[in-house]
Amino acid sequence: MTDVNEQSFSTVINSDSAVAQAARPQGAQPPPEPIWRFRPTLQPISVVRTLKTRIIPKIVLALRSTPKAPEPAKPDGRNTIAQFAVLVSGESDGAAFAFVQEVMAEGMSVETVFIDLLAPTARHLGTLWESDATDFANVTLGVGRLQLIMRELGEAFFEHGRSDGGESALLTTIPGEQHSFGLSMVAEFFRRAGWNLCTGPFSSHQELTSLVHNHWFDVVGFSVSSDRRLEELKQDICDIRRDSRNRNVGIMLGGPMMARDPGLVASMGADMMSLEATNAPQQARNLIELKKR
């Protein structure tokens, strides 16, 4: 059966062809057929049949199928860090912590979670921001959740440490510096090692120097994440040595910038650097002993 519109369209085509042939002079070559005339005629019945038998069933099947939730990856490489970064900056408040609980149930220690999962994820979020792959809001949300996870695990982390010591330390960033997650993690290792701790960041250089003037600190540590405030850091160290209540205070530097340029220890006027949070408390104790000598 032929559609009514198709019959009318064919009649018009046939009548046009007859008129054109009558008006053509004898011996003249017929004009080439338009390209559209060589296309197969669209059959509405065939289209409907295809929709009913092939397209619609596939759509229905896709809507009825419930996708399986992806299995959480193990924290053993860059892909895992990228996946965990998606979790901490995603819509679910509990997804990232559930992932951490799962890997700990499989035997991962709190210390390993701190060093091999939380810290690399924070660095990954910073890299995404610097490369404009994500925005400040997502990075802030992600780092905030990382800090919450670290606080949740802090109790268990402290229980596996030792409470002897009693040395005091001030750990901070350069006033005005935004990146403080690494500092928070280093602070957890100092607390676990039994240090009396005060942490920044501080709103101004005056607040920082006033604090070391009024309170005794064996060590002052700075986390340096970039080279944007190095002159301010150098001035802060000079002021701390001048105004500190402890005239023999030790100055330590750490953070990503120190890994890139170890020579900053000397140029900034510090005593030493520490690149690993796990070793930083003991390195600070060694520095105190050297200062005493």
pLDDT at residue 66 above 50?
no
Radius of gyration of the chain, Cα coordinates, nearest whole angstrom: 35
Q: Which residue has the higher pLDDT, 110 or 240?
A: 240
pLDDT score, position 244 = 94
pLDDT at residue 26 above 80?
no
Give the mean model confidence (pLDDT) for residues 86-103. 88
Dist. CA 254–CA 213, nearest whole Å: 23
Dist. CA 107–CA 117, nearest whole Å: 14
The secondary structure element, H or E, covering residue 169 is: strand 168-173
Where is average pLDDT lowest: 31-40, 116-125, 202-211, 264-273?
31-40
The secondary structure element, H or E, covering residue 125 is: helix 119-130
pLDDT at residue 287 above 90?
yes
Token pair, residue 9, equals 């369209």
Q: Hey, is 222 helix, strand or coil?
A: strand
Dist. CA 186–CA 190, nearest whole Å: 6
pLDDT score, position 16 = 45
CATH number of 78-159: 1.10.1240
Give the type of residue at 75. Answer: P
Reported pTM: 0.63
8 A C-beta contact, residue 152 and residue 97: yes
Give the model confidence (pLDDT) of 126-164 as tens digits.
888 778 888 888 888 888 888 888 888 877 666 555 555
Quick one: what percent of the chain has pLDDT higher than 70?
69
Token pair, residue 10, equals 């064919």
The strand pairing partners of 251, in sequence order, are: 220
pLDDT at residue 245 above 90?
yes
Going from N- to C-terminal start, the domains of the chain cover 78-159, 168-292
Where is average pLDDT lowest: 46-50, 88-92, 155-159, 203-207?
46-50
Dist. CA 283–CA 252, nearest whole Å: 9
Give the mean model confidence (pLDDT) for residues 96-111. 88
Give the model confidence (pLDDT) of 191-232 as tens digits.
888 899 898 888 889 999 999 999 999 999 999 988 888 999
The values of phi and psi at residue 222, to 5°, are -115, 135
Instruction: Please report which confidence band the pLDDT of residue 239 belongs to, taking 50, 70 and 90 as the band edges.
Output: very high
CATH of 168-292, one of 3.40.50.280, 3.40.1710.10, 3.40.50.720, 3.40.50.620: 3.40.50.280
8 A C-beta contact, residue 189 and residue 112: no
Query: Do the domains at 78-159 and 168-292 have one common CATH topology?
Result: no
8 A C-beta contact, residue 272 and residue 290: no
